[in-house]
Amino acid sequence: MKPKIVFLDCLTVNAGDLDWQPFEALGDFTAYDRTETADIVSRAAGADIVLLNKTPMTAETLAALPRLRLICVAATGYDVVDVAAARSLGIDVCNCAGYGTKAVAQMVVALLLEATNRVGHYAEANRHGLWSGSKDFCCWDSPLTELDGKRLAIVGFGNIGHAVADMLRPFGVALYAVTSKPQEALPTDVGKMTLDEAFSTCDIVSLNCPLTRENERFVNGDLLEKAKDGLILINTARGRLVDDDAVAGALRNGRLAYYLADVLSTEPPRADHVLLHEPNAYITPHIAWATAEARQRILDIIVSNIQAFMAGRPQNVVN
């Protein structure tokens, strides 16, 4: 008998541009765009396999789903699932590590180039007459910056951090890493430094580390007080790595020239979120991972995870 497979919140992964056929071939497949907490148990009732992105799976919810044997998280992070409770109930939890490495690194570059070359700013200004109203063949109202020779520190030198270094190396930046890895494990042109050194001596700092209990809001007022004036801070990792109010304050006093982020501490944010209204905070709506290519890789990995589980050889198990 083919398993019953339920995807509780498929919309962000597949908005209709990708094919569900591989899942339909695996079993009795149902996909919901979104699932409210109150509806999780009723929708997942009788499922052997549940797929999810951000829908929470608490110990209480898991206990109410006796047939459930596999949870596939359509992401790298799996903190929405109580993995210890799942383990105690004999439920495997699998993730999709590595699917978005290049996509997220590309967003780091895109955000950085927006700050240094201001393409979006000038395209919008030209729609309102900046160039057509100029007396000269060129005009600018905001400085442009070359990356060549600038110092860039990457906080967290895993797969994404490594990819960021690879993509920015051709721009001529001097590369550094804040990492637990020893110097000999880093590329020869990447120097190891401390977090304080990164903020106080570098022109650009990119956060590419996981969120843990120990590092929540580690980018705080004390650390930002040590920052080199005009630092560009990039965050494509997790919003709660930074203290939003401290970052806003550092933008206002010039410690930070720009805060470039694809994530915020609460998602979606309130309309009055402090960083949405700072002129030098460029915030994108958690889309670094969401290229069509990366989303297809998520589906491919989930299909592979289900096939491996059904064959008795579970893979990418995180619990």
**228, 202 Cβ separation under 8 angstroms:** yes
In tens, the pLDDT along 191-215 reads: 999 999 999 999 999 999 989 889 9
Instruction: Identify the active-site residue in 69, 118, 162, 238.
Output: 238
pLDDT of residue 77: 86
Sheet containing strand 70-73, edge to edge, reads 28-31, 4-7, 49-52, 70-73, 92-94
First to last CA, the chain: 26
Residue showing tokens 């401390």: 194
Is this model's pTM higher than 0.85 or not?
yes
- Per-residue pLDDT at 65 exceeds 90: yes
The answer to whether the peptide bond before residue 268 is cis (omega within 30 degrees of 0) is yes
Instruction: Identify the active-site residue in 36, 124, 267, 293.
Output: 267
Go through the domains of the chain in sequence order and give each one's CATH number. 4-99+292-310 (3.40.50.720), 101-283 (3.40.50.720)
List the one residue out of 102, 228, 219 whose CA is nearest residue 165: 102
List the one residue out of 99, 4, 90 whose CA is nearest residue 43: 4
Spatial CB neighbours of 148, under 8 Å, sequence gap ≥ 6: 171, 172, 173
| Structure-token pair, residue 8 | 């509780």
Task: Tell me how many degrees the CA angle 62-68-72 measures, rounded to the nearest 5.
Answer: 90
In tens, the pLDDT along 139-168 reads: 999 899 999 999 999 999 999 999 999 999
213 is catalytic: no
Task: Tell me how many degrees the CA angle 192-105-215 measures, rounded to the nearest 5.
Answer: 55
What percent of the chain is predicted at pLDDT more than 70? 100
Mind giving me the DSSP string for 217-277? T-B-HHHHHTSPTTEEEEE-S-GGGB-HHHHHHHHHHTSEEEEEES--SSSSPPTT-GGGG
- Per-residue pLDDT at 247 exceeds 90: yes
238 is catalytic: yes
Q: What average pLDDT does this structure show over 228-242?
A: 97
In tens, the pLDDT along 18-33 reads: 999 999 999 999 999 9
278 is catalytic: no
Per-residue burial over 4-27, b if 16 or more Cβ lie within 10 Å, else e, is: bbbbbbbebbbeeebeeebbeebb
- Per-residue pLDDT at 81 exceeds 90: yes
Antiparallel, parallel or unpaired: β 281-283 and 256-261:
parallel
In tens, the pLDDT along 106-141 reads: 999 999 999 999 999 999 999 999 999 999 999 999
pLDDT of residue 204: 98
pLDDT of residue 151: 98
Q: Across the chain, how many H-helices and E-strands are there?
A: 11, 12
What does pLDDT average to over the chain? Answer: 96
